Amino acid sequence: MNFCFLSPHFPPNYVHFASHLNRLGAKVYGVADASWDSLDVRLKESLTEYYRVEDMEDYDQLVRAVGYITFKAGKVDRLESFNEYWLETEAALRTDFNIFGIRRDSIERVKRKSVMKAVFQKAGVKVAPGVLVESLAGCRDFIDQVGYPVIVKPDIGVGAAKTYKIHDDEALAAFFADKPDATYFMEKFVSGQIVSYDGLTDAGGQVVFCASHVFSQGIMETVNDDRDIYYYSLRELPADLVAAGEKLVKAFDIKERFFHIEFFRTPLQELVALEVNMRPPGGLTTDMFNYANDIDIYREYANVVVKGRFETAVTRPWHCAYVGQKFSKRYRHNHAEILHALGAHVVHHQPISGAFASALGNYGFLVRAADVDQILQMAAFIQEKE
């Protein structure tokens, strides 16, 4: 099997995908703009060959790279980056080189929130009412129907960048006066807790691994209000979440891919679909899969791709939480005190890349426990302010 890995060096923990694919006999070809000398030694050892391009944004350079791999090794069987940013690029390359996976003809429904919402509705999963932002008058008509507040966000976009919560006519007018040059989507604000349905499917579209995480608040609030965030995995997945998640996995025809589907859990315990992402959940969540289940999700992904099966039993013996800290805040407990107080419950901790810091913080702790109350207590301890 020939596996083309776009940008295999970022984020750093994704080197494990390359390592396990290599161990199972796949030939892993890396394509990126980073220098060979800057790559992690483990990644270097896992790559069959590395093709460096000058600019990952230059599609012609990527075509030449994949063309070279095809000439050298034969047909490319899989092409992935596991990164939302490159989703359209991946789809284009898969189309041009006839590679298994998402292609140009299906990319709109997983990139555009307006199209995504239509898929949710067709699948019978509840969503917040929404409309494309085309004119001030049109938005006022929509708000007359649903009321304030509303959320306005790029129709195509990752994370909470340039996302606004609008409470009144004055803020709406201000948004239009300074509107970025992009297509925006407006939807009714939904009050509730964000929960996710995350997992991995095999080549036939069957869910072979799933998990769920509960978030302290949304990424929009975390970024816009400069808050701390934590989120934790559930040991038992709610039946309604699994049912809704499986409907959407089928509706989006997710095959041999990780997925991250976000919902609001309203005060009335209803689920409202927010968005779907065709990638592993961000940050250190793939590592959280491992610590919550005592498995190696990177190896199991390689098993699914190379062998066609997920081989490890999943029992969820632990809740695992990500707890972030920001350098801009003063915390009551320093790192040494946290590690001493929480002991073996801290299974991992590390600095967070600047690309993710506004959402996840500058430093992250992974903690685990069998009891969710203990998880919440540890999160509060780590994030306690002076």
- Residue extents of the structural domains in the chain: 2-106, 129-188, 193-383
User: For the whole prediction, is pTM greater than 0.85?
Assistant: yes
**Length of the chain in terms of residues written:** 386
- On the question of a common fold for 2-106 and 129-188, the answer reads no
Mean pLDDT of 353-361: 87
**Does the domain made of 193-383 have the CATH classification 3.30.470.20?**
yes
Handedness of CA 132, 133, 138, 140 (dihedral sign): positive
Which fold, 129-188? Answer: Dna Ligase; domain 1 (3.30.1490)
- pLDDT for 276-328, tens place per residue? 999 999 999 999 999 999 999 999 999 999 999 999 999 999 999 999 999 99
**Contact 195/265 with Cβ under 8 angstroms?**
yes
Whole-number pLDDT of residue 197: 98
Do residues 159 and 223 touch, judged by C-beta distance below 8 A? Answer: yes
What architecture is the 2-106 domain classified under in CATH? Answer: 3-Layer(aba) Sandwich (3.40)
Percent of residues, the chain, with pLDDT higher than 70: 99
> For 114-156, how does the pLDDT look when each residue is reduced to its tens digit (9 = 90+)?
999 999 999 999 999 999 999 999 999 999 999 999 999 999 8
pLDDT, tens digit, 9 for 90 and up, residues 28-80: 999 999 999 999 999 999 999 999 999 999 999 999 999 999 999 999 999 99
Work out whether the CA dihedral 163, 275, 191, 222 comes out positive or negative: negative
Six-digit token string for 235: 């040991």
DSSP character at residue 171:
H
